[in-house]
Amino acid sequence: MILAIEGVSCVGKTTLAAMLAPHLDHPAVIPCYFHASPDPTRLPTPEPFTADHQLANISRFLEVEDLRLARAEQALAGGRDVILDRTVDTLLAHAHAVGRMNGFDCDDQARHTVTRRAVAMPDLTIVLTADPDVLARRARLRKGMPTIFYDRHFSEHFNAYFDHALAPAVVRLDTTTGSPDELATRALDHLRRHRVGEHPIREAR
């Protein structure tokens, strides 16, 4: 099984992945694009101002996706589960958000760019959400965090994208309600429902 954990920066994806890992079958945790890249300094800047620039950025990130896909396939071939820290839906959500913020729309072209390639597609995606003010406080503790990643408008547009994600099953969990243990319990409930073939519950945003 491939489980994906999505959401804007500082929302708690890494923490949740670590809490879920013991409940999966020797999972391989595939890191986000930044940490999976052989040279993160060559990755595009987070805020392009034109559609062409954004599409070029997606193509660069898809080169990293090739590496992530290979790791996921290797794990699955060995009978292991996979946890993806972000997926290609992140690339499309980012394009959707910055487009809305900068007055362009490349959603269809971006989707075509992604879907014409082989990618690591999750069986279930959990999208973590949080109040932007909470995210901003967390981000201030991370040196060098681009401000766009905790901009309220960016978060709203990024999260709205997942109403039409590529992933076949998507659930949303609010990280600001309840403890981390309670969040993990809710995530595990969705995971177990998905494993037995039940439709995932779409929780309130």
Q: Does residue 74 lie within any of the structural domains?
A: yes
Q: Does residue 150 lie within any of the structural domains?
A: yes
Domain encompassing residue 94: 2-195
Cα 134 to Cα 18: distance, rounded to the nearest angstrom: 21
Take residue 29 and report the two structure tokens written for it.
């945790």
H or E stretch at 6? strand 2-6
Predicted TM-score of the model (pTM): 0.90
Take residue 28 and report the two structure tokens written for it.
């391989």
Q: Does residue 203 lie within any of the structural domains?
A: no
| CATH number, domain with residue 169 | 3.40.50.300
* The pLDDT of residue 9: 85
Cα 162 to Cα 141: distance, rounded to the nearest angstrom: 27
Q: Does residue 205 lie within any of the structural domains?
A: no
Q: Which residues does 197 contact at the CB level (< 8 Å), separation at least 6?
A: none
Averaged in consecutive runs of 10 residues, what is the pLDDT profile of the chain (205 residues)?
92 92 94 94 84 94 97 96 97 96 95 96 94 78 74 90 96 90 94 73 37
Cα 82 to Cα 87: distance, rounded to the nearest angstrom: 12
pLDDT, tens only, 115-154? 999 999 999 999 999 887 877 777 777 777 777 777 888 8
Residue 85: which of 57, 56, 127, 45 has the closest Cα? 127
* The pLDDT of residue 199: 47
* The pLDDT of residue 204: 35
Cα 160 to Cα 7: distance, rounded to the nearest angstrom: 11
Q: Does residue 201 lie within any of the structural domains?
A: no
* The pLDDT of residue 151: 81
Q: Does residue 29 lie within any of the structural domains?
A: yes
Total number of domains in the chain? 1
* The pLDDT of residue 202: 39
Cα 100 to Cα 193: distance, rounded to the nearest angstrom: 35
Distances (CA, A) of 93 to 26, 180, 193, 196, 201: 29, 25, 26, 29, 21
Cα 18 to Cα 100: distance, rounded to the nearest angstrom: 33
* The pLDDT of residue 120: 96
Classify the C-alpha dihedral 145-151-156-158 as positive or negative. negative
Q: Does residue 202 lie within any of the structural domains?
A: no
- Which amino acid makes up residue 128? L
Q: Does residue 204 lie within any of the structural domains?
A: no
